[in-house]
Amino acid sequence: MKLVRFQSILLGVLLSVANIFSLPVKAEGEPLNEPVNGKKVYLTFDDGPIPVITEGILDVLKEQNVKATFFVVGKEIPQREDILRRIYNEGHSIGLHTYSHKYKKVYNCDDSLINEMLKTREIVQNTLGISPTAIRFPGGSSRHLTKELLDSLHSLNMKVYDWNIDLYDGEHEVPPVSQIIKNGKNFKPGYKSLIILAHSNSNNSNTVKALPGIIKFYKELGYSFSAIETDTPEYHYKMRKSSSDDK
Ligand SMILES: [Zn+2]
């Protein structure tokens, strides 16, 4: 009997130790702590500006009176300055999402990523006269962000934003509208602030259609929608130990 009891205590101890080590990896500063009453949703749209889709998203946001953030790709901007201008004039935030969006190029070295962000910042600056500070790594910062890189980005007045909800609309096979809405509702109750990753590529017409359902869901739960501003706490995934670690 005593042995059984000892075994069960031992098992309990082992299980709790195992639990400690199996805790989900938390991003730095997660969940976001903001000096605001209530819960916030940050809708973010990557990869634009793209005709029709970015404009469709803007139409929905206007209709719903919701502000969001657009992480733009520098090479997409020429000839589409009017869409960029519309994003800004309608009260949304603009963030940087590299110039080329080519992973091999962007992640070749830290300087490459930094230069891609600076190049896009310059294009936005020349078009709108503003200098965005929010940046997003293509595919997210996991496996790429180190303390050294983060320090360099901070010295250039850049803040990294990953996400904690993914619409999974950035895949080659874009899911049906109902699935995108379902993905958009998949939040962890522990998060006070939700950052939703969405895309505005040319194949994202389902994102435009799913958007009203996602917005309705969070409005009914009492969340408010905000654009990422300069004082929005940075939110990034766990950093790699150093730039010499395996990629
Ligand atoms: Zn992207």
Set out the domains of the chain in order of their start, with CATH numbers: 40-225 (3.20.20.370)
Q: How far is the CA of 136 from the centre of ligand 1 (A)?
A: 8
Tell me the CA–centroid distance for residue 5 and ligand 1, in Å. 55
Q: Is 111 a catalytic residue?
A: no
H runs (alpha helix) in the chain: 2-22, 53-64, 81-89, 103-106, 110-128, 147-155, 177-184, 205-220
Distances (CA, A) of 114 to 69, 121, 129, 131, 142: 20, 10, 20, 15, 16
User: 97, 101, 144, 199: which is the annotated catalytic residue?
Assistant: 199
What pLDDT sits at residue 7?
A: 58
Which of the two residues, 226 and 31, has the higher pLDDT score?
Answer: 226
**Residues 164, 137 contacting (CB under 8 angstroms):** no
Are 234 and 29 within 8 A, CB to CB? yes
**pLDDT tens profile 200-239:** 999 999 999 999 999 999 999 999 999 999 999 999 999 9
* Separation between Cα atoms, residue 131 and residue 128, nearest integer Å: 8
Q: What's the rounded Cα separation, in Å, for the pair 9 and 31?
A: 33
Higher pLDDT, 191 or 98: 98
- What's the confidence (pLDDT) of residue 188? 86
Which residues, by Cβ under 5 Å, contact ligand 1, an ion?
46-47, 138
CA–CA separation, 199 vs 77, rounded Å?
16
Question: Distance from the CA of 200 to the center of ligand 1, in angstroms?
Answer: 9
Rounded to whole angstroms, the Cα distance separating 193 from 93 reads 17
Lowest mean pLDDT among 23-27, 109-113, 145-149, 237-241: 23-27
Q: How far is the CA of 141 from the centre of ligand 1 (A)?
A: 11
Is 92 in the active site? Answer: no
Rounded to two decimals, what is the model's pTM?
A: 0.84
